[in-house]
Structure 1
Amino acid sequence: NQSQNDYLRQWLPRQESYLHHLLDREAPPEDRRCFICDQDGVYKCQDCLGEPLYCTGCCRSHHCSNPFHWISQWNGQFFERSCLAHVGLILHLGHDGKQCPALTDRCNLFEEDEPEDQLEPEDLPFVSGPEFQPKENTMVIVDKSGVHRLEVRCCDCPNAMSPDIQLFRHGFFPASFNRPKTVFTFGVLNDFLLDNLECGTSAMNYYSKLRRMTSSMFPHLVPDRYRELMRVARQWRQLKIMKWHGFGHRSDTPSTGELALFCPACPQPGINVLLSGDESLDDWKFTRSFVMDGNFKAEHLQIQLSHSMKVLS
């Protein structure tokens, strides 16, 4: 078997070739055509396989189901960072992604429920890239690919659900509930919980990473939703635990200890242990053992709760 050093020795003669091809990926093809309609291709998607070129219309229509991809625009000299909001992408909730036939011009649907970050004009960069400045009818969408600002339009039919429920059913967890302006995708919430579990990543460090993924040059201009992430992650974890313990099909609320994990290997007569007629539950085979010092991460401390703190369970 070859060691990792053997593979490094094989790679060193190829290093210059790899670097050359890496630089080649920065240049457009000679014809620079949209791979869908063969028109002039000015946008390159960094997240689509092969980084294909699109015209404006094809880039918008092709990304209706992938609204969190990052794109770059050809400016005549190089590809500069852009975003799907610049090609006019709009997220329509309901009607299979199509515009609601009863949609009205209610531009205040998502206003005034959450404070927006105020940016001075002189603080904004004179380069293209993600949207920093709040715009009418747009929403901050936090995804594991970064922080996006897109226009979102809800279904406005007479029997339509409330905006927060429409968002939730489309995989967005709203940060507020009357007129939400910020949502977190289910994907970013799951990714944060897994990072927190496996890597010990704090909410502050995780959100700092998302801001830098959005804009490596101006991360401080990306909307700050650190506090919202901490709260919504708690709500998301609570929902998942309740779902796993079967409370989605029950009308009662969890009582003390009902959301604790139960060891599936412990003997449960009638479930994972078959009882014969002459066996007693007092038999040693049915004895459960409790090890209190086995989890070195858990601290049995009674935290001091203030009156303003809300406990979920």
Structure 2
Amino acid sequence: MVKHRTSVRSTKHRVCVRRRTIGGATKVSVLRNVSHPPVTVDVTPVTTTSSLDEHSEAEPSSSCMSETAYTKAKKKELRAWDSLKEDMLRVSYESSAPSTNICALCKEHAEYRCLECSSTNMFCETCITKTHRNSLHLPEKWNKTLYVTSPLELALRLPGEHCSHAVYARDMKIFVNTGQLCSFSVTLCTCEPETCTLLRYGIWPATPERPQTAFSIALLELFHYLSMECQVSVEGFCNMLRWKNNLSLSEVNMLYRALVGESISQFRHHHFRCRSLSGLCPSFDDGTTCPVCPKSNGNLIVTMDANFGLVRKRSSGSSLVEPLHGNRMFVREEDVQEYLSSHPDGSKPNEDCSNFKAGNLLRSQKNQQKLDVTGVFGVSCRHEIPLVFLNMTQGERLAYPMYIIKELLTRNQGKNLNLHVIYDIACVLSSHMHKKAEAMQQGVSLAVPAFHVFGHKLQCQVLYSTRRLKGFGLTDGEGMERLWSFLRRFARITKEMSPSHRLDLLTEALLYYGRRKTADIEVQLHHRWEKAEKVANLAKEELAAVLKEAPASVSEHTVQRWMETENEVARLTVLKTKIADSVPKWKRVYVTTLIELQQLKSCDHDSAVADEKKWTGNCCQIV
């Protein structure tokens, strides 16, 4: 312990303070104009070992101080789980045996249970038979050692009003709600097709005539939503059921063969018609119309783009029938091919703006030999609801967006709608429309997405940015990129499918995506409105600050005039570039060569001879 000795001596006009430490020099301090009586004080600082220990115990360590509230809550939760693990395992073991032997309904002796009905109730044989009439549940029986599959007959019976018809029974293999394969005795009637009777039981047949295998509709609905949300293939779904229910290899093969055929495609289409009610009234919304976009007298903002990941192999076969969804999302390929043949592309996008590959006819020719479809071109509204799509077979030609625009104008004809189109190479498309389809350009405005525009030249950023054009608002134009991120995950499934099945699955995926977007669209609109208000207020404040701090007198009218001048300069720059590009390349090379030849002739003859000798000498050295 270190001790200090401090003495204070006071005189009339000053105080002298001497401080001595063991092993150290004496320090003297003088305080003037102070009148205090002399005093001597022993000062012992609180720096002992025991005091340091107490101080360290009182304050939390640095590691404890660095813990956040989330870390503390997480550790508390983990400790709670650790304390419950053994108890939960014990309860799971105890639940493997019946907790009671009294029937939950008639209070008689019970030895049956149904996990889909209740995990604790027990039933007698009479009650389990009554409660599970025409049910796809699988009761289990306790054999004093473990639960085994119930030996009771699984049957599906028609109601009493069918007794006057020719009723017959048939044994069928049915995959129930849990994915297990069971044998059922199914009663059918000649008054209606067998598939309709099976549908009344809540099962879907694997074949349209004399089906031997069927599926629970709940099981197929599970597969449908797993395939839409998680892109689960038929093979993956079958393997999942195999390991979940310990199915044999033959049962898995039976399930796969039944699902990979027409049955699942027909079920998807049937499920869509039931949900959308399109079979009751054709005027009902089938998911292809945005509920928010104006239907007349307004601005219809859409965004277009191509996806080269959604291909189809030529070796995947052909289709005998048209897609079940028809032209609900994808237009007829015959119409597209006819339009392509009558509208050849004359633009060269790679030379027009920043070497963008969009619109390049040669982009996908390297891999075209093995592909029947090289990609998908589509359009969605500003709220990301899918509208129109088509298959690409010749790269991303400019004729594809031209056809989409033509299709949109045809569908909205007579509705007084101004079409605002956002496309990655709107600058090139605008030039192409001026050359090939001047009449179509009336009522159509083109812009480049907010993210892609920074890859364009400066004049394109000025003329085609959504932030600089009227009528586009705060729409970023990147909605198709977000849609592709969802749809691209189906590529590994659709590339091996037949044309009709592929279009049906992609249509289902697009309808599902649109359904997701419309489910909470009121929340999205509210957020966008709040964002628009914040951006508008911030822009006004920043503009006012700039005008106030300007060294000269500047008004909003002056800023508007500057913007108009900037747009005019950008247009003139683009026009000069087009005029220069309009001269054929061979003419420019020819004129340049003539100028160089004239310069050579005007040179001094001696210098030309000297250069020739020097050139000849260099050639000899090389030889």
Q: Which of residues 192, 196, 206 in structure 1 aligns to 2:237?
A: 206
AA aligned to 2:304 is M
Task: Please tell me whether residue 306 in structure 1 is matched to residue 313 in structure 2.
Answer: no
Q: Which of residues 168, 182, 194 in structure 2 aligns to 1:148?
A: 182
Q: 1:149 to 1:211 in 2, by over 3 A?
A: farther
CA distance in 1, matches of 2:147, 2:141: 5
Q: Which of 303-312 and 185-194 deviates more?
A: 303-312
AA aligned to 2:310 is E
Q: Structure 1, residues 17-58: CA drift from partner, whole Å, max 9, x if none?
A: 2221111111223x6222222333222222222332222222
2:225 match: secondary structure: helix
CA distance in 2, matches of 1:46, 1:99: 32
AA aligned to 1:148 is C
Q: Structure 1, residues 127-176: CA drift from partner, whole Å, max 9, x if none?
A: xxxxxxxxxx22122344113321110245xxx22222222244322222
Q: CA deviation at 1:74?
A: 1.5
AA aligned to 2:292 is A
AA aligned to 2:108 is Q
The answer to whether the 8 Å contact 1:102/1:155 transfers is no
Q: Structure 1, residues 44-93: CA drift from partner, whole Å, max 9, x if none?
A: 2222223322222221211125x22233222222223x04xx31231113
Q: Which one has the bigger helix percentage? A: 2
Task: Please tell me whether residue 28 in structure 1 is matched to residue 98 in structure 2.
Answer: yes
CA distance in 1, matches of 2:308, 2:186: 42
Q: 1:220 to 1:19 in 2, by over 3 A?
A: same
AA aligned to 2:174 is I
Residue 482 of structure 2: aligned partner:
none
CA distance in 2, matches of 1:219, 1:305: 30
How many residues are aligned here? 250
Q: 1:51 to 1:298 in 2, by over 3 A?
A: farther
Task: Please tell me whether residue 220 in structure 1 is matched to residue 285 in structure 2.
Answer: no
Q: Structure 1, residues 272-297: CA drift from partner, whole Å, max 9, x if none?
A: xxxxxxxxx4xxxx222222339x79
Q: Which of residues 15, 19, 40 in structure 1 aligns to 2:85?
A: 15
Q: CA deviation at 1:196?
A: 0.7
Q: Structure 1, residues 262-313: CA drift from partner, whole Å, max 9, x if none?
A: 32232112xxxxxxxxxxx4xxxx222222339x798377977625566333
Residue 133 of structure 1: aligned partner:
none
CA distance in 1, matches of 2:75, 2:154: 48
The answer to whether the 8 Å contact 2:156/2:201 transfers is no
Q: CA deviation at 1:99?
A: 8.5
Q: Structure 1, residues 114-136: CA drift from partner, whole Å, max 9, x if none?
A: xxxxxxxxxxxxxxxxxxxxxxx
CA distance in 2, matches of 1:260, 1:302: 29
Q: Structure 1, residues 210-268: CA drift from partner, whole Å, max 9, x if none?
A: 33443x2x4324361213223322112223444566641369xxxxxx97723223211
1:108-147 matched pairs, under 5 angstroms: 137-146=170-179, 147=181
AA aligned to 2:102 is R
1:48-67 matched pairs, under 5 angstroms: 48-64=117-133, 67=135
After TM superposition, the score normalised by the length of structure 2 is: 0.36
Q: 1:154 to 1:298 in 2, by over 3 A?
A: farther
Task: Please tell me whether residue 90 in structure 1 is matched to residue 160 in structure 2.
Answer: no
Q: Which has the higher contact order (CA 8 A, sep 6+)?
A: 1
Q: Which of 301-310 and 234-243 deviates more?
A: 301-310
1:51 match: secondary structure: strand
Gaps (5+ residues) in structure 2?
A: 1-68, 327-623
The answer to whether the 8 Å contact 2:112/2:125 transfers is yes
Task: Please tell me whether residue 185 in structure 1 is matched to residue 198 in structure 2.
Answer: no
- Aligned-residue RMSD, C-alpha: 3.4
CA distance in 2, matches of 1:15, 1:195: 31
Residue 577 of structure 2: aligned partner:
none
2:318 match: secondary structure: coil
Q: CA deviation at 1:194?
A: 0.7
1:99-110 matched pairs, under 5 angstroms: 100-102=162-164, 106=168
Residue 76 of structure 1: aligned partner:
144
Q: 1:250 to 1:17 in 2, by over 3 A?
A: closer
CA distance in 2, matches of 1:302, 1:173: 31
After TM superposition, the score normalised by the length of structure 1 is: 0.67
The answer to whether the 8 Å contact 1:45/1:69 transfers is yes
Aligned sequence identity (%): 22
Gaps (5+ residues) in structure 1?
A: 108-136, 252-257, 270-280
Residue 175 of structure 1: aligned partner:
206
The answer to whether the 8 Å contact 1:245/1:259 transfers is yes
Residue 289 of structure 2: aligned partner:
262
The answer to whether the 8 Å contact 2:168/2:188 transfers is no
AA aligned to 2:293 is C
Residue 289 of structure 1: aligned partner:
301
Q: 1:307 to 1:44 in 2, by over 3 A?
A: closer
AA aligned to 2:231 is G
